Structure 1
């Protein structure tokens, strides 16, 4: 039996699932507030943890792309509020755009017109919340190894995990093939840009990818991939019922958490849905006959990382119920947002992974 202790010289790592739970918990906390100071603090916390614990790998550089995507989302939200108007009334007019007349069936929508400071501030708060959520997801992508995460999926999702791992494995090789072929064409004095260059580079790349896919399929078939165990019909039906009801519960509970009206039923429905889904995945794992080589361990540090993120989400949710005015500052009348002290202190708990998670630059 292979040992689960990493060998000497192997970089110290944390279970990838712990990073995703931590990041999604910070994103959940971001959905509970529109206070720009608290949202900026959440972004700063995630950025500090990424800077402290990001490994030096190609996939870990995705954090910058998510930050740029978040800025683009924020700009698009402000642009829509400027061009299409906002339902928020305002008295502080910044400028007036030429307004286009629309037919009767488009009532409630306008193009151009008066742009107020209240409408732009409301759009800024709303867009900043979504941008913070995207940055938190980017932090998870930068910290968690996607291949190791997919290796840790339950046995019920084994086939899907193998397909995604294969796709992630072939993506870098495809990029390397494109770069190699373009360099070869430039050395021969042939064009490597435009439609003609794309076609002449793309066809060899696709041919090589197809050959590697056929070879990989033959190797996987020879090693027994895709074989499943026989399970009784009753267990299969119970698995399907638990998984489906669990996913519906997770969707309903998440919707309840994201809306102000569903705060009373969101948490219990989400917990019941997660429990049913986990039970279904546990039963479904009986179909998979496989072992894991060097499985990732869920140790004390992983629990601390998860606990820090969950604590931030729970405390921000409680703060949104007890002091909604501080977490959702109004824009009519237009007032400057204030920084509530104990919600800000709760967000700082999210910095714990920067100190307890293993440094990937140091060997285990």
Structure 2
């Protein structure tokens, strides 16, 4: 099986920045047309640039997860009601009487079109966010992503990469064993087929985990250098304080009251967290073999996602009605041209990224 040349494939961090940019853009709107366009952009890029590696098949799982989230959101809107007032009644369910201390909560009752449409918009936003994250999982090599992590996060990154690669290999094993049973004329569906396929799959997953742990121990993973206690305490203080600053700054940017202090606190928190990560990297004195090189294609890929998020945030601030269509009264959503053009910037990786070829796990 041919391999993607290491210099040709984009760095995984570029794909993640692109996908996170689309995900942030999805949080800035509830317009179903814009959200559908974001899903279409991510699907087109995944179809055009994913490889045949096991993790590249995870996009469909995230799409199903997004649809499940959408259905659950609609179910709660129907079963538990909604605070959105409405005059267009779709159906009336039997209402369960609740005690007086549960005022404001109801089970059943009148279901209006306005409440159902509001739940649809809200669930579609979360589903789009999950699908965008699934695009990053399908395009980025998790093993190469581990190599780009700071040294202070290397042990955590190993655990995350093992967790991310376990599910795709598990799905591949299930498909392989079911195909083998079909070729032998044995049932591969139902409870009996599941039980007879599940044991070999779990056994293979256990053997792979033990072999991976042994190989990682032989290569020195998890071993740290001795550093003075003062350096450890300074690292912990900088990292923890930086993360708290990032949380406080992000909260300030999202609220109207914290617009004055949000950005300075966020920048100070980022600086402290980066300093803590750099100082913590001294505990992991390892070199990087063939580090990823950021070329023009990688920068354009990451920049297209960031630009999409920035332009959607700007459009939401200038014309919130276009990106947040109302449901009371009922109005048909329209596709705003400038936000749609901003979303289409996310298509750039489908044309500038290297052509897909089979990529084996390394």
Give the TM-score, by structure 1 length.
0.84
Determine if contact 2:177/2:197 at 8 Å carries over to the other structure: no
Q: State the 1:275 CA deviation.
A: 2.9
Determine if contact 1:192/1:201 at 8 Å carries over to the other structure: no
Tell me the residue number matched to 1:71: 67
Q: For 2:348 and 2:261, how far apart are their aligned partners in 1?
A: 30
Segments of 5+ residues of structure 2 without an aligned counterpart are none
Bigger mean CA offset, 124-133 vs 219-228:
219-228
Tell me the residue number matched to 1:82: 78
Alpha carbons of structure 1 residues 268 and 120: separation in structure 2 relative to 1, 3 Å: farther
Q: For 2:227 and 2:346, how far apart are their aligned partners in 1?
A: 43
Q: State the 1:18 CA deviation.
A: 1.0
Q: For 1:188 and 1:354, how far apart are their aligned partners in 2?
A: 42
Tell me the residue number matched to 1:4: none
Tell me the residue number matched to 1:310: 306
Q: Does 1:57 align with 2:38?
A: no
Alpha carbons of structure 1 residues 261 and 99: separation in structure 2 relative to 1, 3 Å: farther
Q: For 1:349 and 1:177, how far apart are their aligned partners in 2?
A: 37
Alpha carbons of structure 1 residues 110 and 191: separation in structure 2 relative to 1, 3 Å: closer
Q: State the 1:349 CA deviation.
A: 1.4
Tell me the residue number matched to 1:13: 9
Tell me the residue number matched to 1:240: 236
Alpha carbons of structure 1 residues 191 and 72: separation in structure 2 relative to 1, 3 Å: closer
Tell me the residue number matched to 1:107: 103
Alpha carbons of structure 1 residues 26 and 275: separation in structure 2 relative to 1, 3 Å: farther
Segments of 5+ residues of structure 1 without an aligned counterpart are 1-6
Q: For 2:228 and 2:104, how far apart are their aligned partners in 1?
A: 57
Q: Does 1:350 align with 2:340?
A: no
Tell me how many residue pairs correspond in the alignment. 356
Matches within 5 A, 1:1-364: 12-167=8-163, 194=191, 198=195, 202=199, 216-256=212-252, 266-361=262-357
Determine if contact 2:244/2:269 at 8 Å carries over to the other structure: yes
Alpha carbons of structure 1 residues 91 and 307: separation in structure 2 relative to 1, 3 Å: same
Q: For 1:214 and 1:179, how far apart are their aligned partners in 2?
A: 22
Alpha carbons of structure 1 residues 53 and 172: separation in structure 2 relative to 1, 3 Å: closer
Bigger mean CA offset, 221-230 vs 163-172:
163-172
Determine if contact 1:32/1:258 at 8 Å carries over to the other structure: no
Determine if contact 1:192/1:198 at 8 Å carries over to the other structure: no
Counterpart secondary structure, 1:113:
strand
Report Cα offsets for 1:210-252 as digits up to 9, x if no partner.
6665555455444433332233333222211121122223333
Determine if contact 2:39/2:128 at 8 Å carries over to the other structure: yes
Q: For 1:262 and 1:116, how far apart are their aligned partners in 2?
A: 36
Counterpart secondary structure, 1:352:
helix
Report Cα offsets for 1:93-128 as digits up to 9, x if no partner.
122111111111211111111111111111111111
Determine if contact 1:249/1:269 at 8 Å carries over to the other structure: yes
Report Cα offsets for 1:310-335 as digits up to 9, x if no partner.
11111111111111111111111221
Q: For 1:130 and 1:8, how far apart are their aligned partners in 2?
A: 33
Determine if contact 1:13/1:358 at 8 Å carries over to the other structure: yes
Q: For 1:212 and 1:62, how far apart are their aligned partners in 2?
A: 20
Alpha carbons of structure 1 residues 290 and 26: separation in structure 2 relative to 1, 3 Å: same
Report Cα offsets for 1:237-281 as digits up to 9, x if no partner.
221112112222333344455566656655554444333222211
Alpha carbons of structure 1 residues 129 and 280: separation in structure 2 relative to 1, 3 Å: same
Give the TM-score, by structure 2 length.
0.85
Determine if contact 2:58/2:168 at 8 Å carries over to the other structure: no
